[in-house]
Structure 1
Amino acid sequence: MIKEFQCEDAQKLADMFNASDEGWPGGFTHGLAVTPERVLDNIKETNAVSIFVAWDRGKIVGYADIMEFWRDFNVSYVGLLNVMPTHHGKGFGRELLKACVEKAAQLKYNRLDLHTWAGNMKAVPLYKKTGFFWVPKTTVHMKNYLPLIFNMDAAEPYFEKHDWYKTFKRELKVEEDDFKGIFPYCWEEDGDVLSVAIDTESGRVARFENNQFVVSQKVGDAFAGKSVKVTWTLENKMKSPLNVTLIARGDEKITIEKNESIVLEGEHVITGEAFIDPDIEIKKKEEPPHVLTTDVVINGVSLSLGSGLRVKQPIALSTYPEYLFLPRGRREILVVLKNNQKITAEGVITCQNTGEFHPFCINPEYTEAVPFSIEVEDCELQFAIEGEKRIHTIPMQLMTGANVMQKGKEVVLENNYSRIVVSLSGGETTIFDKKTKKVWAKHVEDELGPPFWPSEFSKTMYTANTGYKSGKAVAEFTARSKKYDLRLIRRMEMDSSPVVKVHYRIIPQKDMSICFAGGGRMDGSILTVPLKEGIVSEPFMEDIFPLGHGDLPKDASEYREQWMCFERDGSVFGLIWETCAELDINESGFPHMTMSGGAVKPFYLYVGSGSFKDVREAWSRLHDKKVEEEEPVGIWEVTPPVLLCTDDCTQDMVIASHRGKPLKGTVNKKPFDVKRGSPFTFKTKFDKLELGVNTKYLEVETDLFCKKVPVSVVRAGKRGDTQIRIREKDIIEIDNGLYTVKVAPHFCGSVIFFGRDSNNLLTSYPEPTQFNWFKPWYGGIHPTIFAEDEFPGRMHKETFAHQIIDFQKCGITWKGCKVTSTLQEIKGLQLHTSYVTTAFSNVLVVENTVRNLTSAPFNLYSGVFFYLQPEGSMKEATLYYYQKDLYERRRTPYGGWIQCRDWAAVKGKKTFVTVIADSIEIIDFGEKGAHFFVVKEVEIAPREEVTSVLYCAAADSLEQSQQYKVLRGIKWI
């Protein structure tokens, strides 16, 4: 039975969530129990349209909520769908989804969306059966246009006679729904037919068919300053003629004249042209496209057809660097030209400021770059492309202590430490660290409430005023709230220091709360917070720590000082506040800071070199408070760490946790169960003490780890020969006498075997398959390359060549195989990956090179995936990695994402399969093992290449495994 949720059932809903761990990769609760209070808090803070629960025998067994989608207008969104694992396959998920679809239609939404993962083998077919389509090249965004179709007058006769779910015809394959620009919906029963094709760009009806007629609209590729062909196809399926009226219209700066009335017998095709103004706004891919609409009336039945025009410039122009804040003097910049056409583009580009010009020739859909020499000054650079009327303008500023400029729909504030980019579309803010060239935060936005999310401002166009005052770069952003009838103003001030001031105002002033929230990119960082019991410092690990929901205190008064920060690679990102009601530091990384209404005081962002000590020092200056040196502790600790005695002694020891998630286990075989505010005290005898310092150990063991807590040249192989054989199916077998390596170039360029008697790699060879949320999945060791937000890449679309290699390096003969791919998914790049070893060695060297074949720079992510299965089994696989300390993770139902630095290993019964690299991202899939993604952001200059070297070793002990870290010091390149 499906019902709307009632607050008095919060305990039953919490019970359902707590029983749902088995249904989610890595678990649902991650070990932090859901409480009724947490259920009600989430409902209070979320702007849900409807919340449905499924009941069975007096228990809540399923949940689904609908809210407005934060990006598109008139679109609803399933924020969470969950059914207890004990009730999977019994129809509860289906009925919840049907309720969501029908509710969205009742509320006149055009679409219902959700997100899932590619490996969700149970749910994806269910989603498709209820009308959802997997948007190509997403992981995984699904869209459902049934609400739009249910509200069509022309579709109503079919649904009055037939059940929409039972008569819906759909293939349920777990794969992307790539139907070449449409999502097709088809129903048929008892001779009645209904077919509706949705244009994927606009979300409008592109084709409609019933028993009487067929009508469709199709447009070609749209380019600014050119005409685009439009084709309407009509078919009369009856014997008697139909009267048809067709009127077409375009959005602003799209001109079309088509107004026809015909008597339709049989099939009829109408063509026309729409002219695209050269100065039409070019929409980003996340923005709604321009639309060409046709109103059709067929024998009194009205239909509206629509096609999204994703208008592009024939040749798109940008610069490198992207934002031109440049030092004084003459500088060279690159003007990057992207040919969006399917024909070769040739011409001349001229800088009208200087008269400098260059010819260009760009292959279809390729990108090239042209150098220009510029004398830096505050101005707008103007570039003209031969044959185009449009002048391309690029703002440029002389670099000062702090700069601000508006470039299109973005405002950029920049100094020597950081770059802050604010999109006027939704006010989304990105915070970029210039030292590490990494993003600290993305999609940060303004929220009013409660409820806070989704934010009304996500779909609001901001206005901006920029300028300079008292040596500071200032930007003021204004958004109007229709919901609350007010204006929200966010003012940002940047000077030459790492501190950026942020100040909100509400006009007229109202007693409301403001939340500054978003997504963090804190991978590999150390989180430090000043709790009342002391400064706590612990590695940030997605889905492991912190978990939010009270894992760390939400009440800002629980923080002894008004700051917190993340450290990574010698840089730090911090928040400093004056007054704050709540601070929710959760698995997204970026802290959600809520300030109570009225006169809101400023807060500060800190982005710069240093550590938590620098953020704390800035806090002390802003608050005029003196601080004493203090060393942080971990998220759990045993105290006291040092004892003074004159003989054997018995001491009261305390094990304490500083987080809300319980820590359970044994300490010296004594059971404990601790969480923040509830420590465990136990007596321990220290004896057989020698004169001087003695180190004793307390053994702490949990389901996840066992740790002893203290209280106070690489021989790669030997002389011999490495044999290389080509086996069946072009498998390259490399036998060094001790270990065997097998490479399958055609299988994603991967290593499919590394071991002696058993394989230490997890691979799907000979066929790709599904693994957790990955599909298709190859496993083993294989290269990858992808653009931002396109993880894990699309290497399955590439082909590889190979060659046997033999060379001298570091006085050793190395032999192996090189696989090479000229990329088609990212045109203009080549990927070369070499797998080599030497005689009687337990080390495999992986050399990965990305080569840029073009004159344009690239910024993307490249590396190697390692799927590990020591000695052919994951049953006893234990993960070891080093961040702040040495960590151990056994196989449990819970997983997570972990970022470590240069070393990690997975142990089987005896073998420690070890990977050494600059940095390693680990995905712990719980009982499916722990696997390493050695991927980093690379910037590849024109005609240049970037190479990285990784090492994989099979060690006999943990100590030996750690010793292999010295391999990083080898000058291989």
Structure 2
Amino acid sequence: MSLDVKIREYRPSDATGIAQLFNESEEGWPGGFTGGVEITEDYVRDWIARSKYVAILLAETGEGKIVGYLSMSEHWLGKDACYVALLNVHPRYRGRGIGTRLLKQAVWKAYQLGYNRVDLHTWAGNTRALRLYKKLGFKWVPGTNVYMQNYLPGLLKLKPIAELVARDNELLFAFKKNLEPIEDDEKLGDREVFIYEWSLDGEKISAVIDRKAWRLCKLECSKYDVELAVDEDKPVRGLPFTAILRIRNKWSRDLRYAARLVAAEDSEIISSQLASGTLKPGEEATAKIRLRVRTGVKDRLRDEPCRSLKIAVEISGERLELAAGFKDTAPIVLERAVPRAFPAGYSGSIKLGLRNRSKKKLKIKFNAEVEPKVLELEPQGAGLAELKLSNLEEEGVTISLPYFVKTDEKNVNGYAVTAAVPVLAPGKVTYAVNEERDRILLAAPDYLAQVRLRGGRVYLETWDGEELAFLGTDEIGPPFWPNELERKTFRYRIVKKDDAVTVELTAVVDKLGGAELKKTIIFRPGPPHVEVRYTLKNSGNAELAAEIA
């Protein structure tokens, strides 16, 4: 059945039609779309006015009814990408290609606005939508629930792909596809990548995305192949590794090329062979860059790109930027501390379970009073170190153990392993803060607790390690999904009063126009052991209707 629908951009006069669409869209959303809260025309106007959308696309029938809505905001990690904050098609109009048209227009709009990527979230059970998203270039990032990235806006900036699409805009979506509703765990050798590949009239174009860097790492076309890679995808901070740039001339004429460094995030360049030159047909040029990541930098979060090396390359007037990502690691990480908390006035030792996170055998030497002084760890292997403590006060203790790594060439300094352990007090709750890992640890006579600032999650367990309770990330809306609080790192404030400890967590809710959510968690030594309170502060001028679930 054909349907006269046009895709256009939002106008303020559309608020009534959008409110009607939202109120009629309960079906097909986990837990409903509005959460039982009626959406009004004023709510839509205020919500859109306060939201930082870069584009709002609507699907409108010939009779003027709004039956589809797509909003895009700038990606929370920066100006390189945008994000589909919400895509909704009226339940009675689904299955008619409206969602496809909205998403195609979103890809083109992202390109027109200068973004390199457009992302979205969905859920694993939404298999019909998953196939649609994959058909349009969205890749399911492995290990996520379900985060999808679409690199077509950035690839459109490459001359070989721009020339292909100039024949017909629909050719942009004519790449090789795997529409199975599973993670896109693609590999190029051992390298984790996403691959976009077009074949038309005997011409093949292949664009490879480095999944660690979230950027282009390889391009193959009829004229040339160019690739940037690293010899270690998990280098140890402070120790050198190598990046390699390769350019091959596949054309029948000479190719001029030039390469220069753009950025080496948190890294030092030891040496570089980047240069310019000319390649005859069939020739290949290789350039090596030696670098090392600085010691003392923090791990990147799972939903952020890894650190990377970025190189700008120009080949016969065609310009592109390549990146090679690497998941750098500290040499060792603390896996456990025994005991998990100390009594006040404790004098004795703490045993630290340590693990080598690298693929190399490491020799670790501690600068503090630790036994053994030198610890040799096999690749990915574990070991135990013991530290003497004396007369601890009635507060949490943070232990920082400086160490250096002994290599064949020299000793590399600037490392430390950190542990935060509460100190028990009779009939009271005590705490310790691990700033390095964004966690607050609490101890009470009957339980242990952990507050993770990322997402505001709370874990409670017995002293024997049995789980008592888990308070996951809260949801606030409408709309309740996707849940932006999952990726927020909450600010915190700790108040100790009498025998209790209060942890106040605050975060700004972007989709509510910058309203501030405060989550207050009170930990007590006796029943009720944990109490949670919520406060929502409206920073706008209009009334705000929202619920916390």
Q: TM-score, normalised by structure 1?
A: 0.45
Cα distance in structure 2, aligned partners of 1:513 and 1:266: 57
* Contact 1:162-1:189 within 8 A present in 2 as well: no
Partners of 2:328 and 2:505 in 1: CA distance: 37
SS at match of 1:198: strand
In structure 2, the partner of 1:389 is 412
Give the SS at the match of 1:408.
Answer: helix
Report Cα offsets for 1:372-403 as digits up to 9, x if no partner. Answer: 45336467442536626334243667837755
Give the Cα–Cα distance (whole angstroms) in 1 for the partners of residues 513 and 25 of structure 2: 33
Matches of 1:409 and 1:362, distance apart in 2: 23
**Equivalence for 1:701:** none
Counterpart mapping for 1:375-414 below 5 A: 375=390, 377=392, 380-384=399-403, 387=406, 389-390=412-413, 391-394=415-418, 399=423, 405=433, 407-408=435-436, 410=438, 412=440, 414=442
Aligned to 1:229: 242
Aligned counterpart, 2:123: 117
Q: Residue 515 of structure 2 aligns with which residue?
A: 515
Matched with 2:222 is 211
Structure-1 separation of matches of 2:53 and 2:211: 26
Corresponding residue for 2:3?
A: none
Deviation at 1:179, TM superposition (A): 1.3
1:260 matched to 2:218? The reply is: no
Q: Separation in 1 of the partners of 2:439 and 2:91?
A: 47
Helix, strand or coil for the counterpart of 1:156?
helix
**Aligned equivalents of 1:179, 1:346: Cα separation in 2:** 31
Which residue number in structure 1 is paired with residue 530 of structure 2?
572
**Contact persistence 1:23–1:84 (CA under 8 A):** no
- The answer for the alignment partner of 2:509 in structure 1 is none
2:170 is aligned with 1:168: no
- Whether 1:494 and 2:502 are equivalent positions in the alignment is no
Match of 1:239 among 232, 252, 258: 252
> Is the partner of 2:208 in helix, strand or coil?
strand
Q: Which amino acid in structure 2 is aligned with residue 70 of structure 1?
A: W
Q: What does residue 650 of structure 1 align with?
A: none
Q: 1:243 to 1:83 in 2, by over 3 A?
A: same
1:51 to 37, 41, 56: 56
Is contact 2:229-2:243 (8 Å) kept? yes
Partners of 1:260 and 1:410 in 2: CA distance:
42
1:710-753 deviation digits (Å, cap 9, x = unpaired): xxxxxxxxxxxxxxxxxxxxxxxxxxxxxxxxxxxxxxxxxxxx
* CA deviation string 1:908-936 (max 9, x = no partner): xxxxxxxxxxxxxxxxxxxxxxxxxxxxx
Pairwise CA distance, 1:34: 4.3
**Aligned residues of 2:274 and 2:289 also touching (Cα < 8 A):** no
Structure 2 CA distance, aligned partners of 1:322 and 1:8?
64
CA distance in 2, matches of 1:597, 1:5: 22
**In 2 relative to 1, CA 238–421 (structure 1 residues): closer, same or farther, beyond 3 Å?**
same
Aligned to 1:17: 22
CA RMSD of aligned residues (A): 4.3
**1:781-805 deviation per Cα after TM superposition (whole angstroms, max 9, x unaligned):** xxxxxxxxxxxxxxxxxxxxxxxxx
Counterparts of 1:73 and 1:338 in 2: how far apart (Å)?
Answer: 37
Structure 2 match to 1:357: 372
Kindly state the Cα deviation for residue 294 of structure 1 after the two structures are TM-superposed.
1.4
> For residues 620-699 of structure 1, what are the structure 2 equivalents within 5 Å?
none
Counterpart amino acid of residue 339 in structure 1: N
The aligned amino acid for 2:416 is H
Q: Which amino acid aligns with 1:593?
A: L
Identify the match of residue 291 of structure 1 among 289, 303, 308.
308
1:177 aligned onto 2:194: no
The equivalent residue for 1:967 is none
Give percent identity, aligned residues only.
27
Over residues 746-776 of structure 1, what are the superposed CA-to-partner deviations in whole Å (9 max), with x where a residue is unaligned? xxxxxxxxxxxxxxxxxxxxxxxxxxxxxxx
Is the counterpart of residue 6 in structure 1 residue 30 in structure 2? no
Counterpart contact for 1:218–1:231, Cα < 8 Å: yes
- Give a deviation string over 1:320-352, Cα, whole Å, max 9, x none: 269977632134434232333345x465664x4
Aligned mates of 1:51, 1:573 — CA distance in 2: 40
Q: How much has 1:141 moved relative to structure 2? A: 0.6
If you compute each CA radius of gyration, which structure gives the higher value, 1 or 2? Answer: 1
Query: Does structure 2 conserve the Cα–Cα contact (< 8 Å) formed by 1:98 and 1:130?
Result: yes
Aligned 8 A contact 1:440 1:520 in 2: no
CA contact (8 A) 2:332 2:417 kept: no
With over 3 angstroms needed to count, the CA separation of the structure-2 counterparts of 1:17 and 1:369, relative to structure 1, is farther
Question: 1:382 corresponds to which letter in structure 2?
Answer: L
The 1:131/1:94 distance shift into structure 2, 3 A limit, reads: same
* Secondary structure at the counterpart of residue 259 of structure 1: coil
Query: What is the TM-score normalised by the length of structure 2?
Result: 0.75
**In structure 2, do the counterparts of structure 1 residues 28 and 298 end up closer, same or farther at CA, with 3 Å as the change threshold?**
same
Question: Which runs of structure 2 are paired with 1:217-616 in the superposition (5 Å)?
Answer: 217-219=228-230, 220-221=232-233, 222-248=235-261, 250-255=264-269, 256-264=271-279, 265-277=281-293, 279=295, 281-286=297-302, 287-317=304-334, 319-320=336-337, 327-342=344-359, 345=361, 347=363, 350=366, 352-357=367-372, 364-365=379-380, 367=382, 369-375=384-390, 377=392, 380-384=399-403, 387=406, 389-390=412-413, 391-394=415-418, 399=423, 405=433, 407-408=435-436, 410=438, 412=440, 414=442, 416=444, 429-431=456-458, 438-440=469-471, 442=473, 492-498=494-500, 500=502, 515-517=515-517, 570-575=528-533, 591=534, 593-594=536-537
Local SS of the residue matching 1:24: coil
Structure 2 counterpart of 1:194, which letter? I
Residues in 2 aligned to 1:334 and 1:79: alpha-carbon distance in whole angstroms: 47
> Unaligned 5+ residue runs, structure 2?
1-5, 477-482, 507-511
Q: Once the two structures are superposed, what CA deviation does each residue of 1:200-224 show, in whole Å capped at 9, x if it has no partner?
A: 1112210112322111111132222
Residue by residue, what CA displacement relative to the aligned partner does 1:572-624 show, whole Å, maximum 9, x if unpaired? Answer: 3233xxxxxxxxxxxxxxx45115599xxxxxxxxxxxxxxxxxxxxxxxxxx
Checking the alignment, whether the CA contact within 8 Å between 2:137 and 2:173 is kept in structure 1 is no
Structure 1 residues 503 and 233: CA distance shift in structure 2, 3 A: closer
- Residue 262 and residue 596 in structure 1: after superposition, are their counterparts in 2 closer, same or farther (change >3 A)? closer
Q: Does 1:189 align with 2:147?
A: no
Deviation at 1:227, TM superposition (A): 2.4
Flag the 1:440–1:326 CA change in 2: closer, same or farther, 3 A.
Answer: farther
Once residues 2 and 569 of structure 1 are traced to their aligned partners in structure 2, the CA distance between those partners, rounded to angstroms, is 57
C-alpha distance in 1 between matches for 2:540 and 2:72 = 28
Match for 1:69 among 70, 75, 94?
A: 75
Distance 2:469 2:210 in 1: 37
Alignment CA distance shift 1:80-1:243 (3 Å): same
* Deviation digits for residues 639-668 of structure 1 (CA, Å, limit 9, x no counterpart): xxxxxxxxxxxxxxxxxxxxx99xxxxxxx
Mark the CA change 1:167 to 1:71 in structure 2 (over 3 Å): closer, same or farther. Answer: same
Question: Which residue of 2 is the match for residue 714 of structure 1?
Answer: none
The alpha carbon displacement at 1:117 in A equals 1.6
Separation (CA, whole Å) in 2 of partners of 1:254 and 1:70:
27
The alpha carbon displacement at 1:15 in A equals 3.3
Tell me: CA distance 1:197–1:443, structure 2 relative to 1, closer, same or farther (3 Å): farther
Task: Give SS of 1:119's match.
Answer: coil
Q: Name the amino acid aligned to 1:175.
A: I
Question: Do the aligned partners of residues 56 and 298 (structure 1) sit closer, same or farther apart at CA in structure 2, a change above 3 Å counting?
Answer: same
- Asked if the contact 1:395–1:407 (Cα under 8 Å) also holds between the matched residues in 2, the reply is no
Going from structure 1 to structure 2, the CA distance change for 1:396 and 1:501 (only over 3 Å counts) comes to: closer
CA contact (8 A) 1:50 1:65 kept: yes
Q: Which amino acid aligns with 1:228?
A: F
Kept in 2, the 8 Å contact 1:116–1:140? The answer is yes
Structure 2: distance between partners of 1:454 and 1:50: 19
Distance (Å, rounded) in 2 between the aligned partners of 1:398 and 1:363? 31
In 2, distance between residues paired with 1:396 and 1:97? Answer: 47
Letter in 1 for 2:249: N
- Report the Cα distance in structure 1 between the residues aligned to 2:82 and 2:57, rounded to whole angstroms: 14
Provide closer, same or farther for how the CA distance between residues 312 and 346 of structure 1 changes in structure 2, counting only shifts above 3 A.
Answer: closer
Separation in structure 1 between the aligned mates of residue 475 and residue 131 of structure 2, nearest angstrom: 33
